[in-house]
Structure 1
Amino acid sequence: MIIERLSQEHRNIETLLAILERELEVFDRGDRPDYEVIRAVLSYFEVYPEVYHHPQEDRVFAKLKARDPAAAAKIGDLAREHQKGAERLRRVAHAIDSVLADREVLRQNVDTIVRDFIEQERRHMMMEDRDFFPAALKALKPQDWTEIASAVTGLKDPLFSDVAEERFDALRAHILRLEREAEAERK
């Protein structure tokens, strides 16, 4: 089911936001975060949500607008929200590139830009999970879901799937290490 997959993708994205947050805490202490992991997280956000996740949500939203304009109006301009998220992502990437290029950049500015991205992404996903997805599930008809599913390409998640791309190897290893550490702490 499309909504279940989108919700799972939100959980995957939350994992990455938590990693970004952890690396930001290292940066804020004045230590050197794992920039390879940070770049991989940003690279993932540039690829998967932009190319696959958001266009899929936009298709669902277009159907919702047609079936229940009032519900769609409550949600707002989803495409614009996605566009603003992409702009925030570009600011984060630029800030990290500036740090890596040893340009004069205030730590506080980098912190503010990255935190803003994390907070806005979480707020956006929470709104979708709370308002958008339930409204779509209620309003859309079976043929709508069939049309949406047929429009979706066979693109696989480059990080959270069996066909994961090599460029995300370091990030995948980092995620697995964090999961093992969390598991060990629970025991």
Structure 2
Amino acid sequence: MHAIMTRLGQDHARLRRVLDLLESLLDRFHEGDEPDYALIDALIEYMDCYADIVHHPTEDLIFRRLIDKGVEPSEVFGIPMRQHPGLSRLTKDFRQSLRMILSEEVLLREDVEAAGRALIGNQRGHLIQEEREALPLALKYLTEADWIEIELAAPTLDPVFGAPDPRHFRVLYRQLIEQVRH
């Protein structure tokens, strides 16, 4: 398997863990508990930045290449490409709700929870569609030359100015797991 596909698979696995954790926190929030909103906001920031800067643009390169090659059904690739901006918007909306809570604005719990659950549900559906339909076709139809061109065009994070600190986010993730366990 090509390195980009390995990275995308790892991204999806990490995102699933984050979504599971977020769902557990929302379940507790629904019951009246108050999670550490700053920690959740930081984790959502990572999801938001990485998805917008690296993950979705890389997938779009792959899907565009498949469309350009005439691989059918092209809608299998068009759907996730159209979903990417919507997923970004849902993430930003949920993050905005968290920031409003952090700035002590009054929000209905139901609205915050609904924004989080919309994000989780849409992300999960999106992952399933990509993994069951779109990405297997990429493995089947893209050549080594295609993968090389995609890799050269794919965005990478700037190690100084654009790279979220993975250790920082791992610590946040562990802290959120501890919140769920207690």
User: Please, what TM-score do these two structures have when normalized by structure 2?
Assistant: 0.85
Query: Identity, % of aligned pairs?
Result: 30
Aligned residue in 1 for 2:175: 174
Q: Deviations over 1:28-61 (max 9, x none)?
A: 1111102232012111112111100111001001
Q: Distance in 1 between matches of 2:155 and 2:76?
A: 29
Letter in 2 for 1:25: D
Aligned residue in 2 for 1:32: 34
Q: Distance in 2 between matches of 1:25 and 1:127?
A: 25
- List structure 1 segments (4+ residues) > 6 angstroms apart after TM superposition: none
Of residues 82-91 and 24-33 in structure 1, the stretch that sits farther from structure 2 once superposed is 24-33
Aligned residue in 2 for 1:83: 85
Of residues 31-40 and 50-59 in structure 1, the stretch that sits farther from structure 2 once superposed is 31-40
After TM superposition, give the deviation of residue 171 of structure 1 in Å: 1.4
Q: Quick one: structure 1 residues 153 and 85, their matched pair in 2 at CA, closer, same or farther if it must change by over 3 Å? A: closer
Matches within 5 A, 1:1-187: 1=2, 2-155=4-157, 164=166, 166=168, 168=169, 170-174=171-175
Q: Which has the higher contact order (CA 8 A, sep 6+)?
A: 2
Structure 2 unmatched ranges of 5 or more: none
After TM superposition, give the deviation of residue 112 of structure 1 in Å: 1.0
Structure 1 unmatched ranges of 5 or more: 182-187
| SS of residue paired to 1:74 | helix
Q: Quick one: structure 1 residues 25 and 125, their matched pair in 2 at CA, closer, same or farther if it must change by over 3 Å? A: same
Q: Distance in 1 between matches of 2:155 and 2:90?
A: 26
Q: Distance in 1 between matches of 2:36 and 2:79?
A: 35
Q: Distance in 2 between matches of 1:4 and 1:72?
A: 23
| SS of residue paired to 2:45 | helix
Q: Deviations over 1:104-160 (max 9, x none)?
A: 21111111111010000000011000001011111111100011112234437957x
Of residues 120-129 and 23-32 in structure 1, the stretch that sits farther from structure 2 once superposed is 23-32
Q: Is the 8 A contact 2:26 2:113 kept in 1?
A: yes
After TM superposition, give the deviation of residue 176 of structure 1 in Å: 7.2
User: Please, what TM-score do these two structures have when normalized by structure 1?
Assistant: 0.83
Q: Quick one: structure 1 residues 91 and 153, their matched pair in 2 at CA, closer, same or farther if it must change by over 3 Å? A: closer
